[in-house]
């Protein structure tokens, strides 16, 4: 069943206060709520629902507004619920007509809504943010014809992986699952396993690597014994085998992988999709998460530098091999052809579409470079502070959403939150400029004081 969308009835209630009567309608968040084309978002997000009978979902403006507020102000789902309940501007932005004293949604509704929408439809939030930027004068349509493309790492919310901790955690998960499933193990190794892990960490810290390797071998032995014990106990019982299948598969992969092994490895048991990515940073040689491609405007608009596209790229592809996917998507989102794409040297040997092959300019390039293009190439590093803000202030610095779908959704929502934050500041600046102009005009027409 399709959601029952919110509409302003314009009616008063004797026992409730209308939000537009208790807030400043010229507040930046109120103005942003009026500037967004909610019907466009209702059309895009409503396409996932059918007309069959059933419980109606929550209104699109409520869920889309909550997602924007969450990533615009770097809030968790729990903090967002608490902030929404006490902030009338949040409620007005989400389409409420009267002030609500109780939550009209559940915290888990946000998770289910994100999973239902997916990356493809959530990208409509970025598209709408760019439309609002052009409508409010924060950016011009011509600003989005020249872009900077770069990649970064979106880290996952996982602990730093070591072989000892992974094998110890895999044994603990198997023992816990055996207890809940009623499988009686010969030995759990809880006490001696913990002591072996502590010994390994102390030896490794003291650079006594031979002793550390002996402790690591002991931890691997304990995991192997528990794994074989569980396999013997559940053999022939189809129901228990299906319960233990995933945990046993991860435990075997963790036990068999080695430090210098090539290919895919398990870096986290609760997020096995995590990849190890090295970007050549001295302070952080390796990051654990997923590679993300970001595209920003080349020249700074009046309202700031906006993100035109964001996409998670699982599999840790080479930067230059991402342009064949990224460029067509950017043109689809902005509705115009790209005239210039500026990238760093990591994109040498790129596979851009044939029509755009000579529109891609690499930092340090000498051929086909005019004085204008030279100046624009010096703007390539302008994407770095945008990435920094998206990570530090809009939840791209640590992704808490589960699975590869969570990686893709978080990248898109972080970019949308960054854009709407720029729009919020632009509308506040515009309001202050208007008020200053009105004040100056009033002072000019004020009659002089008599002595």
**120, part of any domain:** no
Q: Among 256, 284, 311, give the residue marking a domain's end.
A: 256
**313, part of any domain:** yes
Measured CA to CA, the distance from residue 186 to residue 104 in angstroms comes to: 50
Query: Which residues fall within 8 angstroms of residue 194, CB to CB, at 6 or more apart?
Result: 168
Measured CA to CA, the distance from residue 172 to residue 222 in angstroms comes to: 11
Q: Tell me what pLDDT residue 447 has.
A: 65
Contact 112, 55 (CB under 8 A): no
**82, part of any domain:** no
pTM listed for this prediction: 0.87
Whether residue 330 sits in one domain with residue 194:
no
**153, part of any domain:** yes
Query: Which residues fall within 8 angstroms of residue 8, CB to CB, at 6 or more apart?
Result: 97
Measured CA to CA, the distance from residue 197 to residue 189 in angstroms comes to: 12
- Both tokens of 342, joined, read 């500026």
DSSP for 319-357 reads GGGGHHHHHHHHHHHHTS--SEEEE-GGGTT----GGGG
Query: Which residues fall within 8 angstroms of residue 91, CB to CB, at 6 or more apart?
Result: 19, 84, 99, 100
State the 10-residue block means of pLDDT for the chain, 451 residues long: 68 75 87 90 81 75 91 92 91 87 88 90 92 90 91 91 92 94 92 94 94 94 94 91 92 87 85 88 88 92 90 91 91 87 89 89 86 89 92 91 91 94 89 66 62 50
Q: Tell me what pLDDT residue 312 has.
A: 93
Tell me how far apart the terminal alpha carbons of the chain are, to the nearest angstrom. Answer: 74
Whether residue 279 sits in one domain with residue 144:
yes
Contact 104, 95 (CB under 8 A): no
Whether residue 187 sits in one domain with residue 318:
no
Q: How many CB atoms lie within 10 A of CB 117?
A: 25
Whether residue 284 sits in one domain with residue 147:
yes
Query: Distance of alpha carbon 63 from its chain centroid, rounded?
Result: 16
Q: Tell me what pLDDT residue 436 has.
A: 66
Whether residue 410 sits in one domain with residue 285:
yes
Whether residue 252 sits in one domain with residue 178:
yes
Q: Tell me what pLDDT residue 333 has.
A: 86
Whether residue 314 sits in one domain with residue 248:
no
Estimate the crossing angle of helix 107-135 against helix 38-45, to 10 degrees: 130
Q: How many CB atoms lie within 10 A of CB 26?
A: 12
**354, part of any domain:** yes
**357, part of any domain:** yes
Q: Tell me what pLDDT residue 10 has.
A: 66
Whether residue 186 sits in one domain with residue 247:
yes
- Both tokens of 270, joined, read 């609760």
Q: Tell me what pLDDT residue 438 has.
A: 60
Handedness of CA 315, 320, 324, 326 (dihedral sign): positive
Domain that includes residue 312, residue range: 140-158+275-415
Whether residue 247 sits in one domain with residue 358:
no
Contact 220, 197 (CB under 8 A): no
Whether residue 286 sits in one domain with residue 146:
yes
**What does the longest C-alpha to C-alpha distance in the chain come to?**
105
> What's the CATH code of the domain at 348?
3.30.420
Whether residue 285 sits in one domain with residue 233:
no
Query: Which residues fall within 8 angstroms of residue 300, CB to CB, at 6 or more apart?
Result: 382
**424, part of any domain:** no
Whether residue 386 sits in one domain with residue 357:
yes
Q: Tell me what pLDDT residue 291 has.
A: 93
Q: Tell me what pLDDT residue 180 has.
A: 93
Contact 272, 287 (CB under 8 A): no
**331, part of any domain:** yes
Q: Tell me what pLDDT residue 177 has.
A: 94
Measure Cα distances from 123 to 119, 312, 412 in Å: 6, 12, 6
Q: How many domains does the chain have?
A: 2
């Amino acid at each position: 069943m399709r959601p029952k969308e919110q509409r302003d009835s314009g009616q008063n209630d004797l026992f409730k206060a209308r939000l537009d009567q208790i807030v400043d309608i010229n507040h930046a968040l109120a103005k942003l709520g009026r500037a967004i084309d909610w019907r466009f978002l209702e059309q895009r997000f409503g396409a996932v629902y059918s007309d069959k009978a059933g419980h109606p979902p929550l209104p699109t403006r409520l869920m889309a507004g909550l997602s924007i507020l969450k990533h615009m102000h770097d809030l968790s789902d729990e903090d967002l619920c608490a902030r929404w309940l006490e902030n009338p501007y949040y409620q007005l932005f989400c389409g409420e007509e009267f002030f609500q004293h109780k939550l009209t949604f559940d915290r888990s509704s946000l998770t289910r809504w994100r999973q239902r929408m997916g990356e493809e439809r959530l990208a409509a939030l970025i598209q709408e943010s760019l439309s609002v930027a052009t409508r409010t004068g924060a950016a011009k349509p011509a600003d989005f014809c020249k872009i900077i493309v770069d990649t970064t790492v979106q880290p996952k919310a996982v602990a730093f992986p070591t072989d000892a901790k992974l094998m110890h955690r895999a044994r603990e998960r198997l023992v816990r699952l055996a207890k809940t499933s009623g499988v009686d193990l010969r030995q759990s190794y809880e006490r001696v396993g913990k002591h072996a892990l502590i010994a390994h960490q102390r030896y490794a810290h003291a650079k006594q690597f031979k002793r550390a390797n002996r402790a690591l071998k002991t931890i691997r032995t304990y995991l192997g014994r528990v794994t074989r014990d569980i396999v013997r106990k559940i053999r022939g019982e189809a129901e228990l085998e299906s319960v233990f299948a995933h945990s046993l598969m991860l435990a075997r992969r963790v036990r068999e992988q080695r430090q210098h092994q090539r290919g895919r490895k398990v870096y986290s048991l609760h997020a096995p999709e995590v990849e190890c990515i090295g970007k050549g940073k001295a302070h952080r040689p390796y990051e654990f998460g997923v590679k993300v491609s970001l595209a920003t405007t080349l020249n700074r608009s009046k309202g700031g530098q906006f993100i035109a596209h964001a996409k998670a790229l699982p599999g840790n592809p080479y930067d230059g091999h991402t342009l064949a996917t990224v460029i067509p998507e950017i043109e689809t989102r902005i509705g115009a052809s790209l005239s210039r794409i500026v990238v760093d040297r990591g994109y040498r040997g790129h596979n851009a579409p044939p029509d755009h092959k000579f529109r891609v300019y690499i930092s340090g390039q000498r051929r086909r470079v005019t004085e204008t293009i030279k100046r624009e190439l010096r703007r390539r590093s302008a994407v770095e502070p945008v990435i920094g803000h998206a990570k530090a202030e809009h939840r791209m610095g640590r992704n808490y959403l589960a699975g590869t779908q969570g990686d893709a959704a978080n990248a898109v929502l972080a970019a949308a939150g960054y854009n709407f934050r720029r729009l919020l500041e632009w509308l506040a600046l515009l309001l202050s400029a208007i008020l200053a102009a009105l004040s100056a005009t009033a002072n000019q027409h004020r009659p002089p004081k008599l002595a």
